[in-house]
Amino acid sequence: MPGREFFRTRTVAEALALLPDTAVTSPERVGLDDALGRIPADAVCSAHALPGFARSTVDGYAVQAADTYGASEALPAYLDVVGAVAMGSAPDVAVRTGGAVSVPTGGVLPAGADAVVMVEHTQQTMPGTVEVVRPAAPGDGAVRADEDVAIGAEIVPAGRPLRAPDLGMLAAAGVTEVNVHSRPVVGIVSTGDEVVPPDVAELAPGQVRDATTSALAGLVREAGGLPRPYGIVADDGAELEQVLRCAVDECEVVVVSAGSSVGTRDETAGAVERLGPPGIVCHGIALRPGKPTLLARCGEVPVVGLPGNPLSALVVFRLVGMPLVRRVGGCTRVPPEPGTRARLGRQVASQAGRRDVVQVGVRVDGPQPVAEPLFGASALLSVLTAADGYIVVPEEATGLDAGAEVDVNLYR
Amino acid sequence: MPGREFFRTRTVAEALALLPDTAVTSPERVGLDDALGRIPADAVCSAHALPGFARSTVDGYAVQAADTYGASEALPAYLDVVGAVAMGSAPDVAVRTGGAVSVPTGGVLPAGADAVVMVEHTQQTMPGTVEVVRPAAPGDGAVRADEDVAIGAEIVPAGRPLRAPDLGMLAAAGVTEVNVHSRPVVGIVSTGDEVVPPDVAELAPGQVRDATTSALAGLVREAGGLPRPYGIVADDGAELEQVLRCAVDECEVVVVSAGSSVGTRDETAGAVERLGPPGIVCHGIALRPGKPTLLARCGEVPVVGLPGNPLSALVVFRLVGMPLVRRVGGCTRVPPEPGTRARLGRQVASQAGRRDVVQVGVRVDGPQPVAEPLFGASALLSVLTAADGYIVVPEEATGLDAGAEVDVNLYR
């Protein structure tokens, strides 16, 4: 079994650290319509102050605050209404001592004014005069021209997926295109003499349809990548090598389901090793399911060899592949994932030194949710589709007792 | 101010309950490549059992379990190796008493066998004979033909967004197209005499660029909808009514930023009311920011009138609009959102009977994260883009003390 003895089993963190200097994808320009969730390649700074003018935040009267000091219901300040500001227009009148200009929410603060009194704090009993019944301080009822954003201020950081409010902020600053990392193209190679495409209606005895490619494509998209399927390759080292060479040439990350049986796993390792330097950096991760995982690099392109059965492949790809795709895609601030604290419904056994990923169903029962481990042969995809999330039994634990408090990572 | 007095202020829950019987979008068929996150219109059941044949889950020897009872290192069971199973093929040999057939992981269990002994629990000292050193029970090392999925079993529920493993399961069952709800088309109407498109480089005094349309489009996409912008409409009731009629005809949900000042809010209410029955069902929500929110229905189409300033509009759309878009899109099982428990860094004041949404920054400081309220004029979009998440001060609370434990909803 060449290749297997040369590598000791790594923890998940060690394995990821073995591929530190992967290249990131080059930038491309996209419009705001296509920018949600994309990763800015550079921070974006505003060329303008926002809102760009001193602006009223209430419906009311622009005044000089000093004219309102001491005003009350019993003793209002009487001010002359000398004009009105229209939305979207420059005021054609200034505020002088003893004067007031009516202004709508969002209107420009007229010259001379330093506050806006809310209409609710005024009475208008005589035409041309307003009675102010509460004092205003300078700055009340208005924002400064650069209170939202100063000229040159960063409005969007590099490396964090763009959120909906970011798109609004970019639009407000007049930025309608953004430099984002192009989506990493992720080649997906499925292997196995027994594997046939999903559209085969009737299977011959011993055949199974390819579940891994479709499911991995979904996880690649979730991580911001573009899946590129390379079809199903028979358990033949030479043929696999040829397909992998093609994928490594055309993609930024390559994932191959490495076959479940010992022989085919070694075919995969051999084919990956022959792709060229630096080659395999890790073969075997202290993870269940997922021990026979293989990590390699061919030039700049990371290659991930996954276990052959779909459930194990998906668990490993979530823990090892998705972080890698995000990293290649320039994502340095990974968005938070949903989770919940829960009580464990049953004991879970594990081994010290190995990380166990246990699929759980979550039910609400009393004050705290209960996480019920879903056992079953690791080859069963139904365990994964039935799960609400998973728990991780860390390397240092030898299992978790029933009733223990656990952090559940919830699927979206 | 017509229209305003007729409606009492509602809680968020009451407001949502006022639009209960909205139509859901019609189904469309999509391939697995386009199905991630889409909402199945019907549950999908498998036409086949999966894996479809009794299958080995280990590399080893298919045996009759009874032949291994009592086997140990000291006293192995000696079995005749009568053949081998190849991956993806029907076995050409059966297992009889005293016999064994070599089988790879994933291979078909030969007739007559009821267990597979792992190769690690065997020794092969003589050609044609295998020594089994541990007893196997019936069923060990194998799965039944329908252990993953029985014929007719539901593999994907209706109403829950499709996840990556669901796509794998569908592929495994030979289902390559799914009936999903079409994405709700959400019309977005921006209003305001002061509002200009984002691509206007130089603004006249008092003008601002339209931030709301781009940001709302992002939230619509997050909720599974297709945004359709209707541009910017001046503060003119007749013109707004015309654009809204068009949007109500062409869309499944319509959102209009209702202007910030009292006069323009009433223009919007009037235009919405004239669209036709049943009309406005709620005007005013006990929510800060977001009080002047308006909910209406024109025929089957829900119409949401948002506050004019971008931050308030986005807060309301997240709490009221996104649930509505999901509902119209057939989503009955909303995916969990990320969150964290945190200590409140500062006191937050509120009013009983009103729900307050407070944007927070989250920093790690000691054993528990600290949620720092981000104050500032509600008109400032930068408060929203700087926030890591938000907390909700519920209707029954009159504020939260510094140091209180709060649930933070985290932005992704």
B162 to chain A: which residues are within 8 Å by CB? 218
- Among A24, A16, A20, A21, which residue's Cα sits nearest to residue A316? A16
- pLDDT at residue A154 is higher than 50: yes
| pLDDT tens track for A183-207 | 999 999 999 999 999 999 999 999 9
User: Which pLDDT value is given to residue B4?
Assistant: 42
User: Which pLDDT value is given to residue B1?
Assistant: 36
Indicate the residue type of B189. Answer: V
User: Which pLDDT value is given to residue A13?
Assistant: 84
Mean pLDDT score, B283-310: 91
CA distance readout (Å), A43 to A31, A157, B388, B410: 16, 4, 18, 22
Q: In this prediction, does ipTM exceed 0.85?
A: yes
CATH 2.170.190.11 fits A55-143, yes or no: yes
pLDDT above 90: percentage of residues in chain A: 82
Confidence of residue B376 (pLDDT cuts 50, 70, 90): low
Q: Which two tokens stand for residue A177?
A: 């295109």
**In chain B, which residue's Cα lies nearest the Cα of A218?**
B164
Judge contact between B4 and B266, C-beta under 8 A. Answer: yes
Cβ distance of B59 and A335 shorter than 8 Å: no
Of A147, A176, A340, the CB nearest to B198: A176
Q: What are phi and psi of A67, to 5 degrees?
A: -70, -15
Burial of B72 (0-12, 13-18, 19+ CB in 10 A): exposed
H-assigned helices in B124-178: 164-172
Domain A28-47+157-181 matches domain A55-143 at the CATH topology level: no
Distance in angstroms between the alpha carbons of the first and the last residue of chain A: 40
pLDDT above 90: percentage of residues in chain B: 82
H or E stretch including B353?
none
Cβ distance of B261 and A59 shorter than 8 Å: yes
User: Which pLDDT value is given to residue A265?
Assistant: 76
Min distance A86 CA to chain B CA atoms (Å)? 9
Strand A355-365, strand A389-393: pairing:
antiparallel
Judge contact between A285 and A9, C-beta under 8 A. Answer: yes
pLDDT above 70: percentage of residues in chain A: 97
Cβ distance of B104 and A263 shorter than 8 Å: yes
User: Which pLDDT value is given to residue A309?
Assistant: 87
CATH number belonging to domain B12-25+183-328: 3.40.980.10
| pLDDT tens track for B189-241 | 999 999 999 999 999 999 999 999 999 999 999 999 999 999 999 989 999 99
- Residue identified by tokens 């970019």 is A170
Confidence of residue A5 (pLDDT cuts 50, 70, 90): very low
User: Which pLDDT value is given to residue B19?
Assistant: 83
Task: Look at residue A24 and give its three-state secondary structure.
Answer: coil
CATH number belonging to domain A28-47+157-181: 3.90.105.10
Q: Which two tokens stand for residue A375?
A: 């056992």
Min distance A88 CA to chain B CA atoms (Å)? 4
User: Which pLDDT value is given to residue B291?
Assistant: 87
Of A176, A378, A382, the CB nearest to B199: A176
User: Which pLDDT value is given to residue A1?
Assistant: 36
- pLDDT at residue A11 is higher than 70: yes
User: Which pLDDT value is given to residue B13?
Assistant: 85
Judge contact between B267 and B189, C-beta under 8 A. Answer: no
User: Which pLDDT value is given to residue B125?
Assistant: 84
- Residue identified by tokens 């079994």 is A1
Cβ distance of A385 and B156 shorter than 8 Å: yes
Annotate A33-49 with b (16+ C-beta within 10 A) or e (fewer): eebbbbbbbeebebebb
| pLDDT tens track for A64-83 | 999 999 999 999 999 999 99
- pLDDT at residue B166 is higher than 50: yes
Q: What angle is formed at CA A50 by the lines to CA B293 and CA A132, rounded to 5 degrees? A: 60
| Superfamily covering domain B339-410 | MoeA, C-terminal, domain IV (2.40.340.10)
Q: Which two tokens stand for residue B121?
A: 């629990």
Confidence of residue A125 (pLDDT cuts 50, 70, 90): confident
Q: Where are the domains of chain A?
A: 12-25+183-328, 28-47+157-181, 55-143, 339-410
| pLDDT tens track for B61-102 | 999 999 999 999 999 999 999 999 999 999 999 999 999 999
CA pair distance A311, B171, nearest whole angstrom = 14
Min distance B296 CA to chain A CA atoms (Å)? 24
Q: Which CATH class is domain B27-47+158-181?
A: alpha beta
B147 to chain A: which residues are within 8 Å by CB? 376-377, 380
Judge contact between A358 and A373, C-beta under 8 A. Answer: yes
Mean pLDDT score, A315-332: 96
Q: What does the mean pLDDT of chain B come to?
A: 93
Cβ distance of B336 and A410 shorter than 8 Å: yes
Judge contact between A240 and A191, C-beta under 8 A. Answer: yes
Q: What are phi and psi of B383, to 5 degrees?
A: -60, -40
A86 to chain B: which residues are within 8 Å by CB? 193
Indicate the residue type of A111. Answer: A
Mean pLDDT score, A149-168: 97
| pLDDT tens track for B100-143 | 999 999 999 999 999 999 999 999 889 999 999 999 999 999 99
- Residue identified by tokens 């036409």 is B47
User: Which pLDDT value is given to residue A367?
Assistant: 85
| pLDDT tens track for A17-39 | 888 777 899 999 999 999 999 99
